[in-house]
Chains A and B, each alone.
Chain A
Amino acid sequence: AQKITQTQPGMFVQEKEAVTLDCTYDTSDPSYGLFWYKQPSSGEMIFLIYQGSYDQQNATEGRYSLNFQKARKSANLVISASQLGDSAMYFCAFSPGGGSRLTFGEGTQLTVNP
């Protein structure tokens, strides 16, 4: 069974600085997908970014980028130029190849300080 680990229960960052949220996974599947979601205090789950296991380049979406290190089985989220509105819970998730269930990590609560 796949396992997703987020070792940082909470992170703090100053506005306009970059922050890295850690995520490691454990799988023997050769094909899989990694996702990051944001959950603000209002409760909705917002899709941020996706990385496929066969993608050659790290995924980027605006201020979000994914530092994918396949050999280390890590998929860290990098948020550049943090904004106050980035304060939220961030979840890393894993999906086996072919598209199906997501297995979520425990989440990291990010606080952006002014």
Chain B
Amino acid sequence: DAGVIQSPRHEVTEMGQEVTLRCKPISGHNSLFWYRQTMMRGLELLIYFNNNVPIDDSGMPEDRFSAKMPNASFSTLKIQPSEPRDSAVYFCASSLLAGSNEQYFGPGTRLTVT
């Protein structure tokens, strides 16, 4: 079974450039989450969707960050313009709304902004 798929796995970009991270959740899962992991702040939830609808975006750092989920099998996290402090590993996770709701994580995208 395919797990959560993220692309790219690594991204190096210059400050000011637009960055788009992509995620394909596990088929049949109806919740999708975007997390950011840094040494300083640990794992933080940025935003999550239930049935493609954004539920809580209080973790999104600022207006430079935006996320969309146009359908049940695809989501994007966009940073425009990017800054060096956005350098982190960005994880996408998905889960079922029912049951224990354990979240399954993708491999992450390591973003470096120079």
Contact surface of A with B, Cβ cutoff 8 Å: 33, 35, 37, 43-47, 50, 52, 91, 95, 99-104, 106-107
A26 to chain B, nearest CB (A): 17
Q: Which of B43, B97, B105 has the most CB of A within 10 A?
A: B43
Chain B neighbourhood of A33, CB < 8 A: 100-101
* Chain B 22-56 interface mask (CB, 8 Å, partner A; 1/0): 00000000010100000000110100101000011
Q: List 16 A-B contacts (CB under 8 A).
A: A33-B101, A35-B102, A37-B105, A43-B110, A44-B105, A44-B107, A44-B108, A45-B108, A46-B105, A47-B102, A95-B101, A99-B97, A99-B101, A100-B55, A103-B45, A107-B42
What's the Cα separation between A44 and B107 when bound, in Å? 5
What's the Cα separation between A98 and B48 when bound, in Å? 14
Residue of B56, B104, B110 touching A100 (CB-CB under 8 A): B56
Asked if A99 and B42 make an inter-chain contact with CB atoms under 8 angstroms apart, the answer reads no
- If A99-B97, A102-B45 touch, whether A47 touches B103 (CB-CB below 8 Å) is yes
Chain A neighbourhood of B100, CB < 8 A: 33, 50, 52, 99
Asked if B102 and A101 make an inter-chain contact with CB atoms under 8 angstroms apart, the answer reads no
Taking CB atoms and an 8 Å cut-off, the chain B residues in 49-65 that contact chain A are 50, 55-56
In the complex formed, the residue of B with least CB distance to A95 is B101
In the complex formed, the residue of B with least CB distance to A47 is B102
